[in-house]
Amino acid sequence: MPQKLIVLDLNGALIFRDKFKPAGGRADRGVANVRRVTPRPYLNFLESYLVSPRANWAAMVWSSAQPRSVEQMVHQALHELKHGLAATWNRTFFDLSTEDFRELL
């Protein structure tokens, strides 16, 4: 049987991320966009299930956030799963204009 792909929505579904508050500037001008990431309840159980030796699927995450933010969220929230992800999609995959790409969510 072919392996199935599970696509997980990162921001808002797997984790909750605090609102952005610029610290003296905008993130797209070199100021780090560091926001607290809170995993949703039972995320660790979902991760354990997805990396189970009996699993016949691959998992990927996507988010409309910028690449560095997605990397930060994956690093902070996903522990067992982050090294086995089939893919991680961010807004670089959405064919956005430069202005839309830099827009903060």
Task: Please name which of 96, 92, 35, 100 lies closest in space to residue 69, comparing C-alpha atoms.
Answer: 35
Instruction: Classify burial at 41, counting beta carbons within 10 Å of its beta carbon; exposed 0-12, middle 13-18, buried 19 or more.
Output: exposed
Q: What is the pLDDT of residue 98?
A: 84
Q: What is the pLDDT of residue 11?
A: 86
Domain positions in the chain are 4-102
Question: Which CA distances in Å does 21 have to 2, 40, 64?
Answer: 45, 22, 18
Per-residue pLDDT of the chain (105 residues), as tens digits, is 678 999 999 988 999 988 766 555 554 555 555 788 899 999 999 999 888 888 888 999 999 888 998 999 999 999 889 998 999 999 888 888 888 888 765
Architecture of domain 4-102 in this structure: 3-Layer(aba) Sandwich (3.40)
Q: What is the pLDDT of residue 104?
A: 65
